[in-house]
Amino acid sequence: MAAELLDIYSFEGELVGQMEKKEFHETIRQEYKEKGSTSIRHKHVRLFLMTSKGRIILQRRSKWKGDNAGMWDKTIGGHITSGDTFELTMLKECAEELGIPATIVKPEDFDKVSSTTDLHVLAILKPLILLDNYQSHRMHGGEKWTESSITQFFFGYYDGAIRFIDSESCGVQVFTREELEEEAKASPENFTDDIRYMINKFGTLIKPAEKKIEHVLNI
């Protein structure tokens, strides 16, 4: 299997080279340990996925993961392989991590498309914001560190089956916002900072999907 190459950027936005994913993580963790900051970053996608009833779908990270092992996290996240786009990576990660078939639509079309699509068959996603310097606070081997990235956030609805394709995840669970906030308050060590950020940033999106529109032929 070919190594996963990442495009590496300076904090001035300059493409400075490529690194294998494992090498990149080892390099920036060591730099953060020595200096308390990092000088390079990569591109990343993060997905906030819900059911049509407004329940939040979280993924539990495998205990074998280097960072945030065993913690409840955003639905899906992934690094941008060199040459790929944010959109292509998001669709690939949906398929590769949880076996979710998905499509991405324009924000202005999102409500209409999600209300006319069978969400048991297909996840409907839309892009949210692109952050040039997203700070992801993480745990690795009992130590805290911060990874910087150029991150595109996505949001979507999905009611279908989930299959564990790779070893990235060891489970999924759906939460109401109240359940999630209650559990995160009681056991903060079980939840990543990423999901806390996304709940706070995109909290207005936590609601059921628009009521499904019946097709003319079904009336």
pTM to 2 decimals? Answer: 0.93
Q: Is the predicted pLDDT of residue 48 greater than 60, yes or no?
A: yes
Percentage of the chain surpassing pLDDT 90?
A: 81
In the 8-state DSSP scheme, what is residue 65? Answer: -
Q: What is the pLDDT of residue 43?
A: 97
Asked, for residue 217, whether it belongs to a domain, the answer is: no
What's the total number of domains in the chain?
A: 1
* Residue 3 banded pLDDT, cuts 50, 70, 90: confident
Q: Is the predicted pLDDT of residue 165 greater than 90, yes or no?
A: no
Q: What is the pLDDT of residue 219?
A: 42
Q: What is the pLDDT of residue 170?
A: 78
Asked, for residue 134, whether it belongs to a domain, the answer is: yes
Asked, for residue 216, whether it belongs to a domain, the answer is: no
Mean pLDDT of 204-219: 71
Asked, for residue 66, whether it belongs to a domain, the answer is: yes
Q: What is the pLDDT of residue 42?
A: 97
8 A C-beta contact, residue 128 and residue 155: yes
8 A C-beta contact, residue 88 and residue 125: no
Q: What is the pLDDT of residue 55?
A: 96
Asked, for residue 213, whether it belongs to a domain, the answer is: no
Q: What is the pLDDT of residue 217?
A: 43
Q: How far is CA 8 from the centre of its chain?
A: 20
* Residue 66 banded pLDDT, cuts 50, 70, 90: confident
- Rounded CA-CA distance 167/97 in Å is 8
Asked, for residue 63, whether it belongs to a domain, the answer is: yes
Q: When comparing pLDDT for 219 and 79, which is higher? A: 79
Range of the domain at 37: 5-207
**Over the chain, what is the mean pLDDT?**
92
Q: Domain holding 120: CATH number?
A: 3.90.79.10
| φ and ψ of 8, to 5 deg | -110, 135
Summarised one tens digit per residue, pLDDT across range 124-144 is 999 999 999 999 999 998 889
Asked, for residue 214, whether it belongs to a domain, the answer is: no
Asked, for residue 77, whether it belongs to a domain, the answer is: yes
Reduced to 3 states, what is the DSSP secondary structure of residue 202?
coil
Mean pLDDT of 46-62: 95
Percentage of the chain surpassing pLDDT 70?
A: 94
